[in-house]
Structure 1
């Protein structure tokens, strides 16, 4: 019997060898597989298996794994190789604490959306609500991240935006573990509705207060869900 591959998924389309962004694009794909639970905490990521799956050499695979190690999504041990990082309530609590500090600062700098941008946010919000009713976990996590990215893009502070989105990607796998209703969400997506309502009203105080109140509630429920799993 042949050696079992690191994960049993169909082979991915081979990226162009001339594409300079191959490691970043592969890191994004592996990150989504982790968030969706298709790659479990502690699972080994063998370079040769990844190279075969993507149809590329091991050089960009090593670069991709280094990016994921820098994000703490993957751990590297010289003797044991690369593994999907374990989950813990302690890490989640610290990540959310940092996110709250930075996102509060970012929201204090956003400009008010114009009519087209407001319509886009409402369309994204409707999609979030639809996914909540269907309990579309993985798709909801991606749409949730994109929704907040659209709001954060209203800020001119690009370096802060980049860091906030990096931290959001790090917490995605925690959020993906808990069903949206357990993580403090229900139909409609109340926290996101509050953000859009306060942006439309051009009320900075209400925006920051709604963010603080809703984020605290969501975080408490999500951490309770993780604790119930023994993490």
Structure 2
């Protein structure tokens, strides 16, 4: 594995292919309170690209272009949060997208364990560490441990997608999953508009 570190933005000439695994690191899990700090990406080739963003300007035109490129599928685990952070801080709607957590919930109905660590362990027999999950991602310099953690969150998403696609097809839920992926950027807009804790499709007497 090689980790490529970038300050501020992706290189202009970087080609990550038609399917790019993406994750982000933030100062916390609240949309308007916590800043977006780091974005990590992988083409599925065993390498990772880690971008430390310039806050608060977020001057990253090449990253924004990738996130909005209709010819590139953006592959996430729990994309709802990352896509929301990109919408809020970068001002872009990320699409098209695929979320391994949504795929897992539709395909792996025999369990309620859909975290990335559980998925990677079961489906591709790899153990990943989450030890740096709560570290200071707003620091001026990222540690080697932080870089390795960030990379680990995107290195296995392509392999997970392949396994989950097979399971979704086997269970007859591939089309349903695709409809969920297509709706995900709109679900994010609901989150940012104040309906993050409300299921507007649920029945209510009030």
Q: TM-score, normalised by structure 1?
A: 0.29
Q: TM-score, normalised by structure 2?
A: 0.31
User: Which structure has the highest helix share of the two?
Assistant: 1
User: Which structure has the highest strand share of the two?
Assistant: 2
